[in-house]
């Protein structure tokens, strides 16, 4: 797909996220909207995968650590062909494969069960370590939030992956600066985040998380780094694409109501896929 086509796809995914959240009546808005461009880049360009065969042995593995942003993963997977788009409206409903937080045994392709924060990177690291033992060629990707860097378990994994030079591990951090109780730098400062990863023997790339071309370039660059694991810190705007949600911590953990949904969808449709990058 061309970059404009990918941008259009990300916009469609955002619209589905809004519709899913309205239907579910609960869930997280800001994170999924903010990561729509990263997930579009991952599923439509970066990942080696086969939606018809989610258990394909040679596939790249994508671990989602901050499971609460699963609406963006579900929506992107549906658009990529893993399951019918209509199924998205079953999010959080009884019997649905689309659990409020993702479960490995319910939906093929989600790779692991996640939700409680700070544990995804360690799982991805264990997976990367095991696949390195067997000289596997695929790459292990992990998406994390910035807020979950408050967790000790996350930093234990950063130390582990750094010690064992897990070069087959690539991490995307959603650096959107918000968490449930407010701005990350107020709740528990994370900066200097880049320097912290470097101190643990990681390669660090910083990127505009809404510039799909830049995200793809960063992943390509990370694939060429063979000496240690790479973290791509994606500067994102929480709620991106829906102006009244952007940058506000109160949209972290709630869904839009009907009026807000109409407003959000109207805004996304008139954007026509053109999400202006504000980091350039």
Partner 1 sequence: MLRKEAKLSDKVFSEDIEKVPTRNGYGEGLVELGRKDKRVVALTADLTESTRVENFKKEFPERFIQVGVAEQAMATIASGMANYGKIPFISSYAAFSPGRNWEQIRTTIALNNVPVKIAGHHAGISVGPDGATHQMLEDIALMRAMPNMIVVAPCDAIEAKKATIAVAFNGKPTYLRFAREKTPVFTTDKTPFNVVEAQVFWESEFPKVAIVACGPLVYEALLAADELSRSDIGSMVINCHTIKPIDEETIIEAAKKCEAVITVEEHQINGGLGGAVAEVLSKNFPVPMGFIGMPDHFGESGEPDELLEKYGMKSRHIIEAVRKVIRRK
Judged by CB under 8 A, the residue of 45, 103, 206, 263 near partner 1 is 103
Residue 200 as a binder of partner 1 (CB under 8 A): the answer is no
CA proximity to 10, closest of 279, 206, 271, 214? 271
Distance CA 229, CA 160 (A): 10
Stretch that binds partner 1, among 10-18, 88-96, 112-120, 230-238 (CB under 8 A): 112-120
Distance CA 185, CA 68 (A): 21
Contacts with 253 (C-beta within 8 Å, 6 or more apart), sequence order: 28, 68, 180
Stretch that binds partner 1, among 72-80, 130-138, 176-184, 265-273 (CB under 8 A): 130-138
Binding mask 155-174 for partner 1 (x = CB under 8 A): -xx-xx--------------
Judged by CB under 8 A, the residue of 84, 95, 152, 259 near partner 1 is 152
CA proximity to 82, closest of 66, 59, 115? 59
Least spacing, CB of residue 172 vs partner 1, in Å: 17
CB 248 within 8 A of CB 34: no
Least spacing, CB of residue 148 vs partner 1, in Å: 13
Residue 128 as a binder of partner 1 (CB under 8 A): the answer is yes
Stretch that binds partner 1, among 70-78, 100-108, 193-201, 260-268 (CB under 8 A): 100-108
Residue 265 as a binder of partner 1 (CB under 8 A): the answer is no
CB 31 within 8 A of CB 72: yes
Judged by CB under 8 A, the residue of 15, 29, 40, 125 near partner 1 is 125
Judged by CB under 8 A, the residue of 131, 145, 203, 228 near partner 1 is 131
CA proximity to 233, closest of 259, 200, 202, 267? 202
Nearer to partner 1, 116 or 253 (CB): 116
Number of residues that bind partner 1 (CB under 8 A): 28
Binding mask 51-70 for partner 1 (x = CB under 8 A): ------------x-------
Judged by CB under 8 A, the residue of 59, 89, 129, 271 near partner 1 is 129
Q: What is the enclosing helix (H) or strand (E) of 154?
A: helix 152-163
* Cα torsion 5, 56, 166, 156: sign: positive
Distance CA 62, CA 142 (A): 6
CA proximity to 236, closest of 75, 39, 4? 39
Distance CA 242, CA 36 (A): 12
Least spacing, CB of residue 132 vs partner 1, in Å: 10
Q: At 224, phi and psi to the nearest 5?
A: -85, 0
Question: Which stretches of the chain bind partner 1, using CB under 8 A?
Answer: 63, 103-105, 111-116, 119, 122-131, 133, 152-153, 156-157, 159-160
């Amino acid at each position: 797909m061309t970059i404009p086509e990918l941008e259009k796809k990300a916009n469609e995914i955002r619209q589905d996220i809004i519709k899913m959240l309205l239907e579910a009546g609960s869930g997280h808005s800001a994170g999924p909207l903010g990561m729509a461009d990263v997930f579009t880049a991952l599923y439509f360009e970066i990942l080696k995968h086969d939606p018809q065969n989610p258990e394909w042995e040679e596939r790249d593995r994508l671990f989602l650590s901050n499971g609460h942003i699963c609406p963006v993963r579900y929506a992107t997977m549906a658009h990529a062909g893993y399951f019918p788009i209509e199924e998205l409206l079953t999010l959080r409903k009884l019997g649905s494969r689309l659990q409020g937080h993702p479960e490995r045994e319910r939906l093929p392709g989600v790779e692991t069960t996640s939700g409680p924060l700070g544990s995804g990177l360690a799982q991805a690291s264990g997976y990367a370590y095991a696949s390195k033992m067997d000289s596997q060629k695929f790459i292990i990707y992990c998406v994390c939030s910035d807020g979950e860097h408050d967790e000790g378990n996350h930093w234990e994994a950063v130390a582990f992956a750094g010690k064992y030079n897990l070069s087959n591990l690539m991490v995307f951090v959603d650096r959107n600066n918000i968490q449930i109780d407010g701005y990350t730098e107020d709740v528990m400062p994370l900066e200097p985040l880049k320097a912290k990863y470097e101190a643990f023997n990681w390669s660090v790339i910083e990127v505009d998380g809404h510039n799909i071309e830049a995200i793809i370039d960063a992943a390509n660059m990370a694939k060429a780094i063979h000496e240690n694991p790479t973290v791509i810190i994606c500067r994102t705007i929480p709620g991106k694409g829906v102006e009244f949600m952007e940058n506000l911590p109160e949209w972290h953990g709630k869904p839009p109501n009907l009026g807000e949904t109409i407003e959000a969808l109207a805004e996304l449709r008139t954007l026509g896929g053109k999400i202006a990058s504000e980091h350039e």
